[in-house]
Structure 1
Amino acid sequence: MQRSATRIAIAAATRRRPRMLADLLQSLQALDVPQGAELCFFFVENDAELTISELVDDFSRRSGWSARALHEPRRGISHARNAAMEAATEAGVDWLAFVDDDEQVRHDWLRLLWSGARESGAQLAGGPVLPVAPARGSSDEQNEVLAYFERAAAVSDARKDAAMATGQRFDLATNNWICDLHAFNLAGLRFDLRFGLSGGEDTDLSRRAYGAGLKLAWIAQAIVTEEVPAERLSARYIFERARAQSITKFQLLKAARPQRAPLDASVQVLFKGLSGSARIALSPISGRYGYFRGMRSLGIATGFWAGLRGVDQASYTRVTGE
């Protein structure tokens, strides 16, 4: 009896970025189909109205693959991604991949990501996201910030490589991610709605997957690119993003270690505050990368301080890009 093909779904949540979504769809159209697999697609619009149906239907006609536009009006990225997981489960999907609507994939991305996950025996795998300049161009000052993002991404990727080689835990983000959907369903794993507006929902899910005994893998060859909007190419954005992420990290810390969380956060406030100030003071010597690292450290310090004071963050309510 001939074995049926493995069904792989690719999903993305989107909100008010039609041009970027169109660019993502254009790149997905050129995907290599992994041997022994068939593809389907789910695109979830997380807004008051469903406006992407025509775009998705056109993608389906051009590619020949099944593609559905889903509507999730409840605000929050966790709601949107959970909607994709439920739709994929109902469709009998075996593996579910996520990318972001501001990204573009390489033709071999899915093939490398899926084969890497299977060869390593993983139920959850991720790969690198390379930042690229905005389509409309960028100034010299913005290019300096982009260079910082590129270097920071390379450092983060190298750490994941090292962690996987030594068997240590590492976190995987849903901007380049694939999971064994059957394993996730058996473990009851979904995105936590508490982090739907703050971010960090993917870090939380990655850690819970690891805690449930699922194996994680880092597939360095499975690369996607992310267009960085001009609005993000500033030192202020580096600071604000680090602040928002650290508020969420404090919430994760409280959930995992409630007794130690205040002390650990206080250490971060002190250490990152001092190191950030020192990096900025030394930046005339160390260069712009040191300055941006300093801004990030100060953002981390203020984020943990805000978390200690009970401040919440809703960064998902602001859309950047087009």
Structure 2
Amino acid sequence: MSKTQPADVKPLMAIGICTRDRHELLHRCLISLKNTTLPKRYRTELIIVENAETLSIESIIEELDLTMPVHLAAEPKIGYSSVRNRVLDMADEMGADILLGVDDDEEVCENWVIAYEAASELLPDCDVMMGPTNLRYANGDEPSSIVQSAGHWIERTQPLKRAFGQRPYVPATMNYALRKAVFSKQSGLGLRFDERFNKIGSEDTAFFFILENLYGGKLGWVPEARAFEDRLGKRDTLKFISERNARNQAAYFSIVLAHQKTQKTLPVALSEIRQTTLKHAFYAFYHFIAAALYALDQPQRAKKLFGTSVCHFKCLGAVTAAFKWRQL
């Protein structure tokens, strides 16, 4: 498809979704997209890439009868980066000016698209815009309505609040919008996800780390562009959360090591890793001691303090994993 459009054709805002073996969740995600208000200044088209040898989601698309054109593709190389890069390639080939993205296990609010449409005008200097992903727990989806279960070992949280236009606290691809200046290979940086992170994840952390530190890219927060994700079952357990935190920390350390030139020197990169590791050690022991002190009088509080301690202890092994992953 040509990347140049006639003057009377609206610019393209593409919406990209990556999916693999999660048909029910994808169905829910697409229903939420079907119910969103579409922008006036852009035409919208949907890109869905299934990380598989062949497509198995055509029936879902046909059943929903979506209100926007849909482009399907199968990406046979299994991995987070490979499937995300296929979405970027397709958006680039289609001549998209903006690419919106959301994970297949999320649902978006009714004004999700138009919130990004407005932000694209109000935040002209932002190369990337991101919105919050509110977590829906078994007993409520907002902080004021969350009822902590008696056996819960870790504090249930929501995304940290940020003002419109502020840098996102943790840049990620759960809920985002990229300008073509980031992903276009003809008129932009042509930035792609590092395939060394295909199996370990945190490819989005590496992507935004490079964009900010190597190219001076700017990121802005759009609080009205809300998405929702269920935090149920094993995803709401201490084991899952602590292991994920440790994996993310190790991935970040490996990013710092792999791109040490953006940190000026290797000693500077190692210093950052050392300081972060020491912080984890301090908070691990701090929360462990606090848990012991509250164990008799406030057992539920002690449980959550102990869970926080476990998360920090798990992160202490991130250095070893980071040096191992660096060899990938």
Q: Is the 8 A contact 1:126 1:219 kept in 2?
A: yes
Aligned counterparts, 1:142-291, within 5 A: 144=152, 148-149=155-156, 151=157, 153-154=158-159, 157-158=160-161, 160-161=162-163, 165=166, 171-185=170-184, 186-210=188-212, 211-254=214-257, 255-256=259-260, 257=263, 258-283=266-291, 284=294, 285=298, 286-291=301-306
Residue equivalent to 1:86 = 89
User: Following the alignment from structure 2 to structure 1, what is the Cα–Cα distance between the partners of residues 111 and 232?
Assistant: 25
Q: Is the 8 A contact 1:247 1:312 kept in 2?
A: no
Q: 1:12 aligns with which of 13, 17, 23?
A: 17
Cα RMSD between the aligned structures?
A: 2.9
CA pair 71-208 structure 1, distance change in 2 beyond 3 A = same
- Structure 2, unpaired ranges of 5+: 1-5, 140-146
The secondary structure found in structure 1 opposite 2:155 is helix
Residue equivalent to 1:123 = 127
Q: Is the 8 A contact 2:34 2:67 kept in 1?
A: no
Q: Is the 8 A contact 1:241 1:299 kept in 2?
A: no
Q: Is the 8 A contact 2:17 2:47 kept in 1?
A: yes
Q: Which has the larger radius of gyration?
A: 2
Residue equivalent to 1:40 = 45
The secondary structure found in structure 2 opposite 1:198 is coil
Give the residue type in structure 2 aligned to 1:17: R
Post-superposition shift, 1:85? 0.9
Q: How many residues align?
A: 300
Q: 2:321 aligns with which of 300, 306, 315?
A: 306
User: Following the alignment from structure 1 to structure 2, what is the Cα–Cα distance between the partners of residues 126 and 83?
Assistant: 20
Q: Is the 8 A contact 1:197 1:313 kept in 2?
A: no
Q: 2:312 aligns with which of 286, 297, 300?
A: 297
User: Following the alignment from structure 1 to structure 2, what is the Cα–Cα distance between the partners of residues 312 and 253?
Assistant: 10
Identity across the alignment (%): 22
CA pair 142-120 structure 1, distance change in 2 beyond 3 A = farther
**Which piece of structure 1 moves more, 279-288 or 221-230?**
279-288
User: Following the alignment from structure 1 to structure 2, what is the Cα–Cα distance between the partners of residues 267 and 214?
Assistant: 26
User: Following the alignment from structure 1 to structure 2, what is the Cα–Cα distance between the partners of residues 293 and 118?
Assistant: 40
Give the residue type in structure 2 aligned to 1:202: D
The secondary structure found in structure 1 opposite 2:39 is coil
User: Following the alignment from structure 2 to structure 1, what is the Cα–Cα distance between the partners of residues 43 and 151?
Assistant: 40
- Structure 1, unpaired ranges of 5+: 315-322
User: Following the alignment from structure 2 to structure 1, what is the Cα–Cα distance between the partners of residues 151 and 57?
Assistant: 32
Q: Is the 8 A contact 1:14 1:43 kept in 2?
A: yes
Q: Is the 8 A contact 1:117 1:217 kept in 2?
A: no
Residue equivalent to 1:318 = none
The alignment's TM-score, normalised by the length of structure 1, stands at: 0.83
User: Following the alignment from structure 2 to structure 1, what is the Cα–Cα distance between the partners of residues 321 and 211?
Assistant: 28
Q: Is the 8 A contact 2:254 2:326 kept in 1?
A: no
Give the residue type in structure 1 aligned to 2:55: L
**Which piece of structure 1 moves more, 27-36 or 258-267?**
258-267
Q: Is the 8 A contact 1:9 1:97 kept in 2?
A: yes
Post-superposition shift, 1:103? 0.1
Greater percentage in helix: 1
* Displacement over 6 Å in runs of 4+: none
Residue equivalent to 1:58 = 63
CA pair 2-246 structure 1, distance change in 2 beyond 3 A = closer
Q: Is the 8 A contact 1:117 1:124 kept in 2?
A: no
The alignment's TM-score, normalised by the length of structure 2, stands at: 0.81
